[in-house]
Structure 1
Amino acid sequence: MTELPKSTGAPAHQNVTFPSGGTTAHGYLALPPSGSGPGVIVIQEWWGLTDHIADVADRLAQEGFVALAPDLYGGNVAHESEEALRMLQALPVSRGVELLSGAVNHLLSLPEVTSDTVGAVGFCMGGGFVLYLAAADPRVSAAVPFYGVIQGELPDFSGLKAQVLGHYGELDQSIPVESIDSLGKAIKEQSGITADLRLYPADHAFFNDGRPVYDAESAALAWQSTVPFLHEQLG
C-alpha cells in the first residue's frame, strides 16, 4: 500500500487575509519548495478550516502547487456534528461561492502562481462547493470533489469549463450511488464534459486521516490520481 505524502515543512506556509465578498477573508497559504507553481483552492469540510485541511494544502504544495485554503467560517471550527451542521446551514451556497470566487481572485493575483486558471479540491461540504464554484466561475479548470455534498438542487453546469475528477465512497450513506450517476449525467448534458466520478470501497470522509472512517488505501489511490490530474489541467 502506498502511503500518502505528508508535509515536511519545506514549503513556506502562512495565514493570509484578502478582500472577498465585500469583507476581509482569511485563509491558509502554502507555497511549493520551488517558490512558485499552479494555483489550487482547497475547500474545507463542514468542520471548518481545520488542521487536516491545512495539511492537505501542505501536501499539494509539496507536489508543486500554490495552495490556498480559504476560511469560510470566519475563524470558527466545529467540534461536534450538530455544531457543524448549524454552521453549514448558516452559510448560503451563493455566499460561499462569492467568498470562494474572491479566493480565486486572490490566488491568481499572487506572483507565485504560474497558471491562468486554478484547480479546486474540496471535501464533504467543500466537495459540493467545488462543483458550485466550478459551475459559476470559468477560471476553475480542474474540479476535484471528494464525497461532495450537494445542498439542495444541483448547480447549473451550462457554464462549466473545468474537467471533473470526483472521489466517492461506496459505503457513504449520505451520498447514494444513484445520485453520483445523476450528477455525471447532468454535467454531461449541460456542459458536454464527461466527469470522471470514481467509487472506492470506503465510507464518507475516507480521506480524512483524523477521522475513524479514514481508509488509507482508498485515500492513497484518490491522491495518486488527483495530483497528476491537477498538473495535467493546470500545467
Structure 2
Amino acid sequence: MCDLDGCGAHKEMPPIIIPDEQRRAFLKGLAALPLAAVLFDPVLARAQADTVEMIEIDMPGGAPVKGALALPDAENAPALLLVHEWWGLNDQIKSVAAEFAKLGFIAFAIDLFDAEPATTPDGAMALIKGLDADLATKKLVTAIDWLKKNPQGNGKVGTIGWCFGGGWSLNASLATPVDATVIYYGNVAKTADELKALKGPVLGNFGTEDQNIDAEMVAGFEAAMKEAGKAGELTVNWYTADHGFANPTSARYDAEDTALAWDRTLAFLKANLG
C-alpha cells in the first residue's frame, strides 16, 4: 500500500521543463520525449495514454477483465502485465504501457478496481478498501493466461507494478507461473511457504528512505525466499531514495534513481522474456 506522502501528488518539487517546440512536436506525434517528462505533464500523459486500446478479456464465471492494451510493431514479442498504483488505471499507467510497447513488449495495464481512477488519497484508500482480493487474483490470472496465448507474443509473460501494484505484481506471480516479476517498492511480506509457488526470477527496486516498505520487510522477504529455496531467483536493488521515487508526480521523485531503476528493469525483462 502507498503511504500518503510517497504516492501523493507533487508538492514543491522542481518542475520538469519541456521546451514548447518539443512539447508541440510530441503532441503531433512527431517527436519522442523521456518517459518521466511525459508522466509529469498531465496533457502529455493523456496524449500518450490515448494511444492505447481499452479492452475486455473474458473471465470464466465472472465479469470481463478490463485494462489498457498497447502493442509493439514486432511479432513474437514478450508480454508484460502492468499493475497500477493505488490511484487505479489512470493516464500515467496507460502511458507506461505505451512506452513498453515502443520498446517491443505486448503491454497490458490491468484495472484491478474496475472503477474511475482516484485523484485524492482518500479516494485511493476507498478503492483499496473496496478491493476483493480473491477477485483481483482471478483477474490477474486471467490476464496472464490471455497474454501467454496472445498470437503476437512469444509465450513469455512478466509482471511489473509500483507501490500497491508492486505487491500485486508479486501476488500475480504466486497465483500462476510467469517468467519474470518486477516489484517497485511493493509489499513483499510473504512466508516461505507462500513463496514456494514462484516459478521465475524476481527483481525488487526499493528505497533506503522508505518508512513503509522498509529494510526490515525486505530483509524478511530475502530470508523467506532463501528458506523457500529461491534465493538465487531474487535480485534486490537499493536506491538512496524514498517511497514513490520512480513517479515523476510524487513529492519524493528521484530522477537519477528512476533512470537507473528503469535501465535495470529493462535489462532484467529483456534477459528473461526475450
Superposition TM-score, scaled by structure 2 size: 0.77
Looking at structure 2, the residues matched to 174 and 167 of structure 1 have their Cα atoms a distance apart, in angstroms, of 14
Does structure 2 conserve the Cα–Cα contact (< 8 Å) formed by 1:123 and 1:148? yes
Report how many aligned residue pairs link the two structures: 229
For 1:72, the equivalent position in structure 2 comes to 112
Does structure 1 conserve the Cα–Cα contact (< 8 Å) formed by 2:190 and 2:221? no
For 2:210, the equivalent position in structure 1 comes to 172
Q: List per-residue Cα deviations over 1:89-128 (Å, max 9, x = no partner).
A: 22133322111111112222321112x2310010111100
For 1:107, the equivalent position in structure 2 comes to 147
Are 2:249 and 1:210 aligned?
yes
For 2:54, the equivalent position in structure 1 comes to 15
Shift of 1:35: 5.1
Does structure 1 conserve the Cα–Cα contact (< 8 Å) formed by 2:88 and 2:111? yes
Amino acid corresponding to residue 214 of structure 1 in structure 2: Y
Q: List per-residue Cα deviations over 1:37-80 (Å, max 9, x = no partner).
A: 10000001111011111111112112111100011111321111
For 1:219, the equivalent position in structure 2 comes to 258
Does structure 2 conserve the Cα–Cα contact (< 8 Å) formed by 1:29 and 1:57? yes
Query: Once structures 1 and 2 are overlaid, which stretch shifts more, 164-173 or 92-101?
Result: 92-101
Does structure 2 conserve the Cα–Cα contact (< 8 Å) formed by 1:157 and 1:191? no
For 1:26, the equivalent position in structure 2 comes to 66
Query: Once structures 1 and 2 are overlaid, which stretch shifts more, 204-213 or 218-227?
Result: 204-213
Quickly say closer, same or farther: Cα 1:98–1:224, change in 2 above 3 A.
same
Shift of 1:164: 0.5
Looking at structure 2, the residues matched to 156 and 30 of structure 1 have their Cα atoms a distance apart, in angstroms, of 32
Shift of 1:81: 1.3
Are 2:182 and 1:144 aligned?
yes
Looking at structure 2, the residues matched to 129 and 99 of structure 1 have their Cα atoms a distance apart, in angstroms, of 11
Q: Please give the root-mean-square deviation of Cα atoms over the aligned residues, in Å.
A: 2.2
Looking at structure 1, the residues matched to 212 and 118 of structure 2 have their Cα atoms a distance apart, in angstroms, of 19
Q: List per-residue Cα deviations over 1:166-203 (Å, max 9, x = no partner).
A: 10111111112111011111122114243111111111
Does structure 2 conserve the Cα–Cα contact (< 8 Å) formed by 1:4 and 1:220? no
Are 2:166 and 1:127 aligned?
yes
Superposition TM-score, scaled by structure 1 size: 0.89
Structure 1 unaligned blocks of 5 or more = none
For 1:159, the equivalent position in structure 2 comes to 197
Amino acid corresponding to residue 235 of structure 2 in structure 1: D
Q: 1:45 aligns with which of 77, 82, 85?
A: 85
SS of the residue aligned with 2:179? strand
Looking at structure 1, the residues matched to 101 and 110 of structure 2 have their Cα atoms a distance apart, in angstroms, of 15
Query: Once structures 1 and 2 are overlaid, which stretch shifts more, 155-164 or 175-184?
Result: 155-164
Q: List per-residue Cα deviations over 1:187-235 (Å, max 9, x = no partner).
A: 2211424311111111111111122221111110001011111111111
Looking at structure 2, the residues matched to 191 and 51 of structure 1 have their Cα atoms a distance apart, in angstroms, of 39
For 1:93, the equivalent position in structure 2 comes to 133
Amino acid corresponding to residue 112 of structure 1 in structure 2: Q
Shift of 1:159: 1.4
Runs of 4+ aligned residues of structure 1 deviating over 2 Å after TM superposition are 3-9, 33-36, 92-95, 152-155, 191-194
Does structure 2 conserve the Cα–Cα contact (< 8 Å) formed by 1:144 and 1:226? yes
Query: Once structures 1 and 2 are overlaid, which stretch shifts more, 41-50 or 181-190?
Result: 181-190
Identity of aligned residues (%): 34
Looking at structure 1, the residues matched to 34 and 266 of structure 2 have their Cα atoms a distance apart, in angstroms, of 11
Structure 2 unaligned blocks of 5 or more = 1-32, 39-46
Higher strand share: 1
Query: Once structures 1 and 2 are overlaid, which stretch shifts more, 119-128 or 195-204?
Result: 195-204
For 1:83, the equivalent position in structure 2 comes to 123
